[in-house]
């Protein structure tokens, strides 16, 4: 089975889904910003901008589309790793038992597994930090902690490892990073926010690591013939 082909069909769908799903909400935001129908504000001296609620709802919807994409991407990567290790087990006849670390997660466990078998993911050329943060973002959005808000925030534990998270708004990172005399991280955490560029970069990094693993697998198979 060509598992790389199936992986890339999933990643390509992730790109497609994002592009098509954000369109109606981007149109709403653009129409409001440019005061186009049906969002033409009446004359008023009120400082409060018209259609602010509609703009914020559309913006939140775009962020949640990003949430869906990192969830799809995380599951696609895990499925690829599972199929890859199962195939290696069939080829070698050696049982590939992978103990998933509850504390460090499945990415860490698979990295250890691949390295022990001569396939260190650090040699793949992929940005493993982006891949790990994709999984962490997926965990946050799939397990929200507050019923009072639609968005989710990076956990304290994740921020200790990644103080400048990949999936966050730059302005929020600046606000939450400590300065010489101010440290707001104890009460203000950046939200998990995903732009098109961030989603597509995460997709790219998953494809890089999976393509490398596939290439290394066939090199290994060839060396055994």
The per-residue pLDDT for 102 is: 76
65: left (phi over 0), alpha (psi -120 to 50) or beta: alpha
pLDDT tens digits, one per residue of 25-45: 999 999 999 999 999 988 777
pLDDT tens digits, one per residue of 134-144: 999 999 999 88
The residues that bridge with 101 in the sheet, in sequence order, are 105
Q: Is the pLDDT of residue 120 over 90?
A: yes
What are the C-alpha distances in Å from 209 to residues 82, 141, 198, 204?
14, 24, 17, 9
Q: Is the pLDDT of residue 76 over 70?
A: yes
Q: Is residue 59 domain-resident?
A: yes
Question: What confidence category does residue 145 fall into, taking pLDDT thresholds of 50, 70 and 90?
Answer: confident
Q: Is residue 103 domain-resident?
A: yes
Q: Is the pLDDT of residue 93 over 90?
A: no
The per-residue pLDDT for 171 is: 80
- CA–CA separation, 205 and 211 (whole Å): 10
Angle at 78 between CA 170 and CA 114, to 5 degrees: 100
Range of the domain at 133: 3-152+192-223
Residue in 206, 223, 224 with CA at minimum distance from that of residue 4: 206
In the chain the first and final C-alpha atoms are separated, in Å, by: 19
H-assigned helices in the chain: 3-33, 52-92, 105-116, 128-142, 156-161, 170-176, 196-223
Return the minimum-mean-pLDDT range out of 2-11, 22-31, 104-113, 216-225.
216-225
Q: Is the pLDDT of residue 99 over 80?
A: no
Q: Is residue 184 domain-resident?
A: no
The per-residue pLDDT for 20 is: 98
Q: Which two tokens stand for residue 4?
A: 């790389």
Q: Is the pLDDT of residue 105 over 80?
A: yes
Q: Is residue 67 domain-resident?
A: yes
Q: Is residue 170 domain-resident?
A: no
Q: Mean per-residue pLDDT for 67-79?
A: 97
The per-residue pLDDT for 213 is: 97
Q: Is residue 122 domain-resident?
A: yes
Cβ atoms 138, 74 nearer than 8 A: yes
Please count the other Cβ atoms lying within 10 Å of the Cβ belonging to residue 181: 5
The per-residue pLDDT for 161 is: 92
The per-residue pLDDT for 172 is: 80
CB-neighbour burial class of residue 224 (10 A; exposed 0-12, middle 13-18, buried 19+) = exposed
Q: Mean per-residue pLDDT for 174-183?
A: 55
Mean pLDDT (the chain, rounded): 89
The per-residue pLDDT for 178 is: 52
Q: Mean per-residue pLDDT for 146-173?
A: 88
Q: Is residue 174 domain-resident?
A: no
- CA–CA separation, 156 and 178 (whole Å): 14
What are the C-alpha distances in Å from 117 to residues 25, 88, 130, 143?
46, 10, 23, 33
Q: Is residue 158 domain-resident?
A: no
Which among 13-27, 90-104, 166-180 has the top mean pLDDT?
A: 13-27
Domain count, the chain: 1
Cβ atoms 57, 124 nearer than 8 A: no
């Amino acid at each position: 089975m060509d598992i790389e082909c199936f992986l890339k069909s999933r990643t390509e769908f992730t790109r497609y889904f994002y592009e098509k799903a954000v369109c109606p909400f981007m149109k709403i935001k653009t129409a409001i910003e440019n005061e186009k129908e049906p969002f033409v504000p009446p004359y008023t001296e009120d400082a409060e901008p018209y259609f602010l609620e509609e703009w914020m709802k559309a913006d939140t919807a775009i962020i949640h589309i990003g949430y869906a994409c990192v969830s799809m991407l995380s599951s696609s990567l895990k499925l690829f790793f599972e199929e890859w290790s199962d195939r290696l087990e069939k080829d070698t006849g050696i049982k590939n038992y992978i103990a998933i670390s509850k504390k460090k997660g499945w990415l860490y466990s698979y990295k250890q597994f691949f390295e022990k078998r001569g396939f260190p993911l650090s040699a793949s050329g992929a940005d493993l930090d982006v891949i790990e943060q994709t999984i962490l973002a997926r965990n946050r959005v799939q397990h929200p902690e507050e019923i009072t808000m639609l968005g989710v925030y990076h956990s304290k534990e994740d921020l200790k490892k990644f103080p400048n998270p990949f999936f966050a708004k730059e302005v929020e990172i600046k606000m939450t990073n400590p300065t010489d005399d101010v440290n707001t991280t104890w009460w203000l955490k950046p939200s998990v926010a995903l732009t098109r560029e961030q989603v597509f970069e995460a997709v790219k990094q998953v494809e890089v690591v999976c393509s490398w693993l596939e290439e290394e697998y066939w090199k290994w198979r060839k060396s055994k013939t």
